[in-house]
Amino acid sequence: MDFKTLFGLPAHPLLVHIPIVLIPLVAVLGIAIAVSPRMREKFGILTLVLAFVAFIGTFLASQSGEALTDSVRRSAALHQHIDLAGKMKYLALLLLAAVFGIMLYDRLTKQGRKFPAGTNALAIVLMVVIAVGSTGWLVAVGHNGAQATWQNVHVKSGGGDQGLSAPSRGR
């Protein structure tokens, strides 16, 4: 899939908001459903659906970013952003798998399935590590993308219509 625009605007800056919002939300909900059977009962299915949408959104953001690379100035920050973002798809998938695993574990235990001692604690630890890791990685991807986009743009101080400007070149 190769798309550059959405509603007449570059698609990437619009689509990145799906994982920006949903991955931290899924991370918090994932930890909550891992540690609390009551939270799992109330929010488990919602968390699973949001994790799926976050994964799809991460994939779409990545694809739209790849489609945009020919339209932007190359820089070290851009190359690092592309490298970090390429791994984000896998972390979003891992987050989805962790939430699915928690829900599957819950379903099987309710059906009377027995698991070795410590399985619940291991599931909680894994969920916390994956949730914190994927959110932290997302922050790094976003920070790096912002650097790649805005590092050569200067904000003029003061009020009025001054706004943003690109750096002057050789003036």
CATH number, domain of 34, equals: 1.20.120.230
Q: What's the rounded Cα separation, in Å, for the pair 44 and 128?
A: 16
Specify whether the CB–CB gap between 46 and 102 falls below 8 A. Answer: no
- Domain total for the chain? 1
Q: If pLDDT is split at 50, 70 and 90, which confidence band does 2 have?
A: low
The answer to the question of residue 17 being in a domain is yes
The answer to the question of residue 118 being in a domain is yes
Q: What is the DSSP string of 97-122?
A: HHHHHHHHHHHHHHTT----TTHHHH
In this predicted structure, what is the pLDDT of residue 77? 80
Instruction: Please say if the pLDDT value at position 161 is more than 60.
Output: no
Q: How big is the CA angle at 171 (ends 74 and 169), to the nearest 5 degrees?
A: 0
Q: Which of 67, 56, 69 is nearest to 19 (CA)?
A: 56
In this predicted structure, what is the pLDDT of residue 5? 80
The encoded tokens of residue 161 equal 């219509």
How large a percentage of the chain has pLDDT more than 90? Answer: 65
pTM, two decimals, is 0.85
Instruction: Please say if the pLDDT value at position 113 is more than 80.
Output: yes
Mean pLDDT of the chain: 88
Q: How many CB atoms lie within 10 A of CB 135?
A: 18
Q: If pLDDT is split at 50, 70 and 90, which confidence band does 6 have?
A: confident
Q: What's the rounded Cα separation, in Å, for the pair 99 and 35?
A: 12
Q: Give pLDDT tens digits for 35-44.
A: 999 999 999 9
The answer to the question of residue 105 being in a domain is yes
The encoded tokens of residue 155 equal 């904000």
Q: What's the rounded Cα separation, in Å, for the pair 122 and 137?
A: 22
The answer to the question of residue 170 being in a domain is no
Q: What's the rounded Cα separation, in Å, for the pair 94 and 49?
A: 14
The answer to the question of residue 171 being in a domain is no
The answer to the question of residue 28 being in a domain is yes
Domain boundaries, position 138: 5-165
Q: Which of 78, 59, 72, 74 is nearest to 16 (CA)?
A: 59
